[in-house]
Amino acid sequence: MSPVPTPITISGHELQQRARRQARRRESATAWSFISPAVLIILGLSIVPTVWSFLLSFQADDLVTPSRWVGLDNYYALTKDPHFGEAVRNTLVYTALYVPLSIVLGLGLALVLNRRIRLVGLYRTLFVVPFVISATAQGTLFSFILDPQFGAANAVLRWFGVSPQNFFTDPAQALLVLVAISLWSGLGFCVVVYLAALQDVPQPLIEAARLDGAGRWHLLRHVTLPTLTPVSVFLVLWQTINALQVFDLVYVTTKGGPLGATTVIVYFIWEQAFKNFTAGYGAAAAYVLAVALFVIAAGLRVVRGRERNRLEGATR
């Protein structure tokens, strides 16, 4: 678009300004055309549903007939619902086992793999491969391996003289088995993240500590681990958030059973919303989960900030 023919009376300065304003407006229009698909989809399918969910959680809604307002009844009912309480307990047990184990074992393996030994690439590959496999495939695979009757696991246990186990059909074992499968698939993630972080541990710092006579344990305790702190905090946050949202694996393997032993929060939400068609109740449960996730994320951010201040203060 060429500038509009202008009367000669307008000063050159003003002309320049007008051209600049026009250019900026054109730039703004281009930018908006670039971002509008992303904005439309991302905001439309997250902000709108988030608000909608909030409204739903105050309604009795079966996804078919018109809903009716019930105020805080859904939330109140959640506190009284033994199934929800069980789901929260199961989720917390799962998280409390999976998160520390995956991080501690991941760190240990990364520290070992970070030493210059042979076949590191092969080991790393084998640890990471399960991570790219879908939870559905993991679930069907382990349902087969751990099948009490036809599974290979019991055949192997027999070699060692261990009596056959029931795994998924045993209420005392099912949740632990889910933790073990999650470790099988999730450990590789912690390993590669720690391995990448270990590359960034400043070598001069290690040299200096070594010259000061620090042993291996001291190096690990006072140099390596402190520099890994931000990554560890991130992993705690990431793994916790993912663990609290576990669903696919549960759906494929146990469907929340036996006797509700593996009903986790998201399974509860899914069941309420899409099986029992009590969408409002499901939305209320989803909000409880979301608030918990938000509090954890915010809490860890505060801890991380304080930690950073402490470290900076120490070096000053």
Partner 1 sequence: MTATATTQRRAAHTGVGRKSRVRLPFSAWHLLLAPLALVFAIPLIWLVLSSVMSNAEINRFPPALWPSGINLGGFRYVLNNALFPRWFLNSLIVSGVAVVSNLVFGSLGGYAFARMRFFGSRTLLVLMLATMAIPFQLTMIPTFLVMKSLGLIDSLGALIVPSLVTPFAVFLLRQFFLSLPRELEEAAWMDGCTRLRVLFRIVLPLSRPALSTVAILTFLTTWNDLTWPLIAINHDTQYTLQLGLANFQGRHHTQWAAVMAGNLITVLPVLLAFIGAQKSFIRSITSSGLKG
75 binds partner 1 (CB under 8 A): no
* Part of the chain binding partner 1 (CB under 8 A), chosen from 51-59, 69-77, 87-95, 204-212: 51-59
Please tell me whether residue 308 binds partner 1 under the rule CB under 8 A.
Answer: no
Task: Confirm or reject binding of residue 119 to partner 1 (CB under 8 A).
Answer: yes
225 binds partner 1 (CB under 8 A): no
Does 135 help bind partner 1 (rule: CB under 8 A)? yes
Establish if 48 lies at the interface with partner 1 (CB under 8 A): yes
In the complex, the smallest distance separating the C-beta of residue 44 from partner 1, rounded to whole angstroms, is: 8
Kindly tell me which of 48 and 104 has the beta carbon lying closer to partner 1. Answer: 48
Binders in 2-31 for partner 1, by CB under 8 A: 24, 27-28, 30-31
Q: Nearest distance from residue 11's CB to partner 1, in Å?
A: 26
For partner 1, the binding residues in 182-201 under the rule CB under 8 A are 184, 188-189, 192-193, 195-197
Q: Does 125 bind partner 1 (CB under 8 A)?
A: yes
One residue of 247, 258, 300, 304 binding partner 1 per CB under 8 A: 247
Residue 192 CB, nearest approach to partner 1 (Å)? 5
Applying CB under 8 A, among 4, 117, 211, 314 the residue interacting with partner 1 is: 117
Task: Give the 3-state secondary structure of the chain.
Answer: CCCCCCCCCCCHHHHHHHHHHHHHHHHHHHHHHHHHHHHHHHHHCCHHHHHHHHHHCCEECCCCCCCEECCCHHHHHHHHCHHHHHHHHHHHHHHHHHHHHHHHHHHHHHHHHCCCCCCHHHHHHHHHHHHHCCHHHHHHHHHHHCCCCCCHHHHHHHHCCCCCCCHHHCCCCHHHHHHHHHHHHHHHHHHHHHHHHHHCCCHHHHHHHHHCCCCHHHHHHHHHHHHHHHHHHHHHHHHHHHHHCCCHHHHHHCCCCCCCCCCCHHHHHHHHHHHCCCHHHHHHHHHHHHHHHHHHHHHHHHHHHHHHHHHHHHHC
What residues between 153 and 172 interact with partner 1 by CB under 8 A? 154-155, 158
